[in-house]
A = this chain, B = another copy of it.
Amino acid sequence: MTITREEARAFTIRMLAQAGTVLTEEEQAAVEVADMGLGELARSGLQLITYVNNERYCAKDLVLLPGQTCPEHRHPPLSAANPGKMETFRCRSGVVYLYVEGEETLRRQARPPAGSEPYYTAFHEVELRPGQQYTIAPNTLHWFQAGAEGAVVSEFSSASHDESDVFTDPRIRRLPDRG
């Protein structure tokens, strides 16, 4: 299956609307479709809208296509005063399988995208359904995948510096992509 950026954007706006989230026209136009440079958006990537990102805090909504995976990464320390981005994921609709560093979950409900298995190393599973949330400590490897319906996740965090993210997969380029 392939999906275009425009289709991913339309899906994102519909999923947010169904989750009760009203976007202004400017926000709809600013929905970011991030394929991370992998060119397989249906499998690997993420859609997002950033509501606020300042030097102190950040809030976004993340939208995943059915079965789509946001690849493994961490938010490294940025300064003596900043140990790296800390973030709280709160599921709003659908189901999300989140994997973080820690004790490996043996019977897992999701698996890395086919062909990218070498670039996934964190296998402690956290299942998030609507109303459930989890806070990811700074500098902790994590990745996440939506269930069959896709998912909407609100992200509350410290300041976001996406360009500093460290991905396990060396093929990834995390650039702002509003194309």
Contact = CB atoms under 8 A, between A and B. Distances in A.
Interface of A: 18-24, 27, 51-52, 54, 56-59, 86, 88, 90, 92-93, 130-133, 135, 154, 156-158
Contacts of A133: 51-52
Contacts of A23: 131
Given A59-B156, A131-B27, A156-B156, A54 B86 contact: yes
Contact of A86 (B57, B131, B157, B158): B57
A24 B132 contact: yes
Closest 6 CB pairs of A and B: A20-B20, A59-B156, A22-B131, A22-B130, A57-B57, A56-B158
B86 A24 contact: no
Contacts of A158: 56-57
Specify which of A22, A23, A27 lies most central, judged by the most chain B CB atoms within 10 Å of its CB: A22
Contacts of A19: 20
